[in-house]
């Protein structure tokens, strides 16, 4: 049944031509959250071995029980963000540097 619903949603998006990158990312994010919630409802996910309800699995995750982060994690995340931003800006900057200024002015 879930497969039929997923296929119907995909076909309706394709028919309406409204399947763009934003909807794909948002839909993927929602699908991952729902899959995680379903996995958290399994008996193996709880300490006492009993199955939790779907909403309990949806809103009760390990990271929400004790949301503390060490300073090392913060520094590593900051470093990753700096590197990612540098690389993301480097690619367009290198492409722009290859264009001769006279040609850029002529194209305007």
Q: Which range, 6-20, 25-39, 75-89, has the best average confidence (pLDDT)?
A: 75-89
Q: Which pLDDT score is estimated for 5?
A: 65
Question: In angstroms, rounded to a whole number, what is the distance separating the alpha carbons of residues 65 and 44?
Answer: 18
DSSP 51: P
Contacts of 46 (CB under 8 A, 6+ apart): 52
Q: Which residue has 């399947």 as its token pair?
A: 19
For the entire predicted model, the pTM comes to 0.39
What are 38-88's pLDDT values in tens digits? 777 787 766 777 777 776 666 665 455 556 778 888 899 999 999 999 999
């Amino acid at each position: 049944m879930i497969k039929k619903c997923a296929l119907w949603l995909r076909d309706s998006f394709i028919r309406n031509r409204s399947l763009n990158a934003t909807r794909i990312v948002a839909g993927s994010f929602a699908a991952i959250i729902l899959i995680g919630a379903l996995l958290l409802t399994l008996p193996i996910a709880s300490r006492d071995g009993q199955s939790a309800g779907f909403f309990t699995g949806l809103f009760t995750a390990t990271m929400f029980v004790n949301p503390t982060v060490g300073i090392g994690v913060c520094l590593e995340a900051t470093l990753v963000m700096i590197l990612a931003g540098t690389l993301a800006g480097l690619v367009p900057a290198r492409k722009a540097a290859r264009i001769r200024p006279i040609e850029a002015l002529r194209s305007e």
